[in-house]
Amino acid sequence: MDDRILDIISSPSDLKLLTDEELALLATEIREEIVTVTSQTGGHVASSLGAVEIILAAHSLLDCPTDKLVFDVGHQAYAHKLLTGRQDAFDTLRCYGGVSGFPKPGESEYDVHPSGHASDSLSTALGLALARDLRGTHERIVAVIGDAALSGGMAFEALNHIGQAQTPMVIILNDNEMSISRNVGALMKHLGYMRASSQYRQTRDSVQEKLESSGWLGNAMANFGRNMKESMKQFVIPRSMIFEQLGILCTAPIDGHDIPLLRETLANVVDTDVPVLVHVVTKKGIGYGPAERSPEVFHGVAPFDIETGAVKKKSAKAPSYTSVFSKALVAEAAKDDDIVAITAAMKDGTGLAEFAELFPDRFIDAGIAEEHAVGLASGLAVGGKKPVVAIYSTFLQRAIDQMIINNALPELNVVFAIDRAGIVGEDGPTHHGMFDIAYTRMIPHMKVLAPSNEAELVRSLRTALSMGGPFAIRYPRGEAEGVEIPAESEPFDLGKSRLVREGSDAAVLAFGRMVGKAEEAACILAREGIEVRVVDMRWVKPLDTEAIREAAKLPLVVTVEGGVIAGGAGEGVLGELARLQASVPSLTLGIDDTFVSQGKTDLLLHDLGLDGEGIAKSVRKALGR
């Protein structure tokens, strides 16, 4: 690793001193560094490897941080981090107290916004461009968005506004699905440059005006020319037509791994006076064989062996919650032809791959479009089907309006399987499932279950499908608890909890995975002579009012949940205590009014006081022991 160009890069401005050949060598070094580090930390490998040349070309032409480079999702930005002063700390990527796996403004002045959810970059970039125009300054705004993220509704809303605003900005469309035809590439490049040229546009408009003002023959020629132009564009570059019709100039597809071509194209468009879309074709995982062969595996991967690409799997005592949900849903669907599974570009992540294989006609992937997925579910339910919408907690919050208006208001039979609920670990604040308890329990007609182990999860799904109405089931990421799953699962009684452990000094009402942490706390306190009742509340909504009434007879009532306290289940319990006019001291434990950084889940829970030790400490303090 001696004498690397990467070692002398302290900021993007250093790239301006490098030749195209040196930039290509630097791209190789960056890929090696990304693979080396992520083999230890895990991360979003394939997407970041595919975007290396785009980032090098952009940073070599822009003057960041004055100019702005905006990333969509941000999982493609590892090269950006290496080029912006974080090289020495890059080996702490996604680690507790280390470099975030996504752009993070508090971490670097080069990170424009906390990009972690798809399809938002164009709105942010347009806002930056309009702010620039209002100030009367001239910084250049460039957004990088992937073809999958472009399918999101928010991106289309932004494109519509960008075309209307006609303010200068550049959109780099990172398309890693479409191949390049070398036979027509030169013509496409030429047409793209012509459309991006202000001189060409002025000449075109001038000729058009003169023809239209010179009588019927001129008008006829103008119409003929206009029709011919549109026909040629449809023939040569049909994919660009939607952008052109929105008022955004579009270059032809170019090779996203050709640094000279990228720099030449960007240099040609970056100072234009209108919005321009540069269509760049890349290959996910390029430069690392295993990631090229299996880009879906290396989209977000755990630590792996560099030589083979094999993921370093820890010996698991139990299956993951996601895999348990997967098998339970398949079993339910085998008995009920009306069950339809829906996800938003997360077939593998949400465990629906097996369902899709077994019941392809009843599986729908809506793409990166959570609002559409949830709205779609309402139509299926009205049509007599039983949709199960499996989406990560952090992404489902994008569709709260559709949950409320389209599904809860008409009381439809829709099940929301909320994966990755609670603290999720290394992906950090944009991905923690902190808010789903609050945003589901506020919705009228919604029933909410928080299973504490895998057997409870299977029963929760059975309950939701048999009971009907809008239903939410939240469950965490990772390995389950290792309990036995019965062959036949009976539905729960509505709003009834489960007593886990009896005690007379305090009652801990726990929700979801926090039940296990509460049990750990009870064991710690028992050794000190403090006997704590532990209740698995099961239901976030409706709450078990009888369990709360019984808890109020003890010296202290404690609630523990893996989400935000504000609007959470604990506040629901406090409301019930108030209705009972109970004067018992109470304590709500959860995530306080803060965002949680990245790191191993156990470390984060310890910091939040939500592990066994932390809960025991809070109970001990509240009891004055």
> Could you give phi then psi for residue 391, rounded to 5 degrees?
-145, 145
CB contact at 8 A, 393 and 436: yes
- For residues 470 and 443, give the distance between their C-alpha atoms in angstroms, rounded to a whole number: 10
Q: Which of 132, 140, 189, 284 is catalytic?
A: 284
Q: Token pair 């560099």 is at which residue?
A: 306
Structure-block tokens of residue 222: 């103008």
288 labeled part of a ligand binding site = yes
493 labeled part of a ligand binding site = no
- For residues 108 and 567, give the distance between their C-alpha atoms in angstroms, rounded to a whole number: 32
Contacts (Cβ under 8 Å, ≥6 apart) of 383: none
Structure-block tokens of residue 253: 């597809």
300 labeled part of a ligand binding site = no
Rounded alpha-carbon distances, angstroms, from residue 531 to 515, 569, 588, 611, 616: 16, 23, 19, 18, 11
433 labeled part of a ligand binding site = no
622 labeled part of a ligand binding site = no
Look up 284 and say whether it is catalytic: yes
Residue 321 burial (CB count, 10 A):
24
Look up 541 and say whether it is catalytic: no
Residue 159 burial (CB count, 10 A):
23
333 labeled part of a ligand binding site = no
Look up 398 and say whether it is catalytic: yes
Side chain identity at residue 307, one-letter code: E
The count of residues in the chain is 625
- For residues 622 and 625, give the distance between their C-alpha atoms in angstroms, rounded to a whole number: 8
Residue 439: name the closest of 482, 395, 479, 496 by CA. 395
59 labeled part of a ligand binding site = no
Q: Which of 140, 283, 362, 398 is catalytic?
A: 398
Q: Token pair 């009532």 is at which residue?
A: 557
- For residues 404 and 397, give the distance between their C-alpha atoms in angstroms, rounded to a whole number: 11
176 labeled part of a ligand binding site = yes
Angle separating helix axes 153-165 and 121-135, nearest 10 degrees = 30
Handedness of CA 498, 500, 502, 503 (dihedral sign): negative
State the maximum Cα–Cα separation within the chain, in Å, rounded to a whole number: 100
Q: Which of 107, 370, 371, 426 is catalytic?
A: 370
One DSSP character per residue, 548-565 reads HHHHTTSS-EEEEEEEES
- The annotation places the binding site for Mg(2+) at 147, 176
Active-site positions read 284, 370, 398
- The annotation places the binding site at 75, 116-118, 147-149, 176, 288, 370
